[in-house]
Amino acid sequence: DAGITQSPRHKVTETGTPVTLRCHQTENHRYMYWYRQDPGHGLRLIHYSYGVKDTDKGEVSDGYSVSRSKTEDFLLTLESATSSQTSVYFCAISEFDGQNEKLFFGSGTQLSVL
Amino acid sequence: AQKITQTQPGMFVQEKEAVTLDCTYDTSDPSYGLFWYKQPSSGEMIFLIYQGSYDQQNATEGRYSLNFQKARKSANLVISASQLGDSAMYFCAMRGPPGGYNKLIFGAGTRLAVHP
Q: At CB < 8 Å, which residues of chain A contact B?
A: 31, 33, 40-45, 48, 50, 56, 58, 88, 90, 92, 94, 99-105, 107-108, 110
Does B101 have pLDDT greater than 60? Answer: no
Judge whether A88 and A111 are in contact, CB under 8 Å.
yes
Coil, helix or strand at residue A2: coil
Q: Residue B45: how many CB atoms within 10 A of its CB?
A: 25
Q: Considering CB atoms only, which of A44, A94, A105 is closest to B44?
A: A105
Residue A112 CA to residue A73 CA, distance in Å, equals 23
Distance CA A36, CA A60 (A): 9
Predicted confidence (pLDDT) at residue B56 exceeds the cutoff of 90: no
**What pLDDT does B96 receive?**
63
Whether the predicted pLDDT of A101 surpasses 80: no
- Closest among B59, B91, B70, B57 to B27, alpha carbons compared: B70
**A107 to chain B, minimum CA–CA distance in Å?**
5
Picking from B103, B105, B110, B111 by the largest number of A CB atoms within 10 A of its own CB, the best residue to mutate is B103
Nearest to B52 among A50, A88, A100 (CB): A100
Give the separation between CA B31 and CA A73, rounded to whole angstroms.
30
pLDDT category of residue A3 using cuts at 50, 70 and 90: confident
Q: Which pLDDT does position B1 carry in this prediction?
A: 74
Cross-chain Cβ contact B93/A43 below 8 Å = yes
CB contact under 8 A, B103 and A105: no
B102/A103 Cβ within 8 A: yes
Mean pLDDT of A3-19: 96
Of the candidates A26, A71, A58, the one whose C-alpha atom is nearest the C-alpha of residue B101 is A58
Instruction: Tell me which of A68-72, A92-96, B23-27 is least confident.
Output: A92-96
